[in-house]
Amino acid sequence: MNTVIAIDSFKGSLTSFEAGNIAAEELSKLFPGSKVNVFPLADGGEGTVDALVEGLGGTIEKAEVTGPLGNKLLSRFGFLAEKSMAVIEMADAAGLTMVPKEQRNPMNTTTYGLGELILKALDKGCRQFIIGIGGSATNDAGLGMLTALGARFVTSDGLPTGVMGKDLFHIASIDLSKLDKRLFESNIMVACDVNNPLYGQTGCSFVYGPQKGADQDTVAAMDKAIEKFSLLAKNQCNIDGAQMPGAGAAGGLGYAFHGFLKAHLRPGIQLILESLNISEALKNADLLITGEGRMDFQTSMGKAPCGVAEFAKSVNPSILTIAVCGGAAREAEAVNNAGIDAYFPIIHLPMTVDEAMEHETAQINLRQTIIQIGRLIKYTQKK
């Protein structure tokens, strides 16, 4: 039997590779001589750096950058030397979890640290970039990032603007002549899984501003400021794309990447799977094992397990696809219409969430479940 294993991390319990290797070990025992390929899995969000670094043999590079509130913090990016590639999660520099709940306000946060991370990677020789932009604390339309990369934004008094969301209100002119030229020698791929435009009722301010701490007055004011900024960019720099699907991702970062840096916005799971070159392994596979920590309706809406399952079916329609998960919500059955033939929660006895998430417990539970899945498949093969 030829098996491909690509399991997303069980967040807080098992990394993608830990889960994959447990499954591979048990299936190899049950099917001696069979071929088992393990791939890491991520969708451009949390865990993307670790997954690609592990899967492609890279290293983690540490860097001090400016955090979302303007404070200095230690961040990181993945470095794949053979590909001259950097893998970056913007949440490592400007993530919502970095901001205490009582301080959350997108007027007072910046993407400047993300720009610093990109500069560090450029200095390292990277010219290929995969950047995941989920989980942001920001709504600055990329103002901070672009400033760090050399763009100059000026007030009506001729002074440099700040780099926070509130500073969008004061931009009177834009000078891109000092943007780092290495950016335009680079191929920047952005993992983007939302389709919101930059501004308007379905734009970044109205849809995502409240979860970042904005009240309704702030939401309306920021939406107007971002619209004004995009019109200025269009008139002065011939930069368009405010209504493009994904422009509103990460508080307008999608717009900034596409318009100012000529980056390509791609669905996260597709981008990761292509980078791992998993399609060759799937073509001749009989079985795909995937999964994640919690399986629910959102899983069926393109999260990593269904993303790899649907991709596998497009490459190899006859492949059997089975998912494992730490827990399954009632609506998880929706995944059966999104490429996953069957799913199996791994918990075998009543226990608290904290108990289930203990590293050793999660390992044992996953191992038991994989053995039983393997035994069932082995039995059906005798028929």
315-344 pLDDT, tens per residue? 999 999 999 999 999 999 999 999 999 999
40-76 pLDDT, tens per residue? 998 888 888 988 998 889 999 999 999 999 999 999 9
Instruction: Kindly report the pTM of this predicted structure.
Output: 0.88
170-189 pLDDT, tens per residue? 999 999 999 999 999 999 99
Q: What is the mean pLDDT of residues 1-7?
A: 96
Question: Residue 33 pLDDT more than 70?
Answer: yes
Question: Residue 360 pLDDT more than 90?
Answer: yes
Tell me the three state secondary structure of residue 301: helix
pLDDT at residue 199 in the model: 97
Q: What is the mean pLDDT of residues 259-284?
A: 93
Taken in order 153, 167, 261, 242, the sign of the CA dihedral is: negative
Share of residues in the chain with pLDDT > 70 (%)? 100
Minimal CA–CA distance to 292: which of 9, 89, 78? 9
Average predicted confidence (pLDDT) for the chain: 95
DSSP codes, 361-379: HHHHHHHHHHHHHHHHHHH
Task: Work out the pLDDT band at 355, boundaries 50, 70, 90.
Answer: very high
Identify the CATH number of the domain defined by range 2-39+278-382.
3.40.50.10350
Question: Residue 12 pLDDT more than 90?
Answer: no
Domain ranges within the chain, ordered by starting residue: 2-39+278-382, 48-268
Give pairs for 82-86: CB < 8 Å, separation 24+: 82/57, 83/56, 83/128, 84/125, 84/126, 84/127, 84/128, 85/58, 85/126, 85/128, 85/129, 85/130, 86/118, 86/121, 86/124, 86/126, 86/128, 86/129, 86/130
Helices 268-276 and 48-56: crossing angle in degrees, nearest 10, is 10
154-170 pLDDT, tens per residue? 999 999 999 999 999 99
Question: Residue 291 pLDDT more than 70?
Answer: yes
CATH architecture, domain 48-268: Alpha-Beta Complex (3.90)
Task: Work out the pLDDT band at 117, boundaries 50, 70, 90.
Answer: very high
Task: Work out the pLDDT band at 383, boundaries 50, 70, 90.
Answer: low
What string of H, E and C letters represents the secondary structure of 70-121? CCEEEEEEEEEHHHCEEEEECHHHHEHHHCCHHHCCHHHCCCHHHHHHHHHH
pLDDT at residue 298 in the model: 81
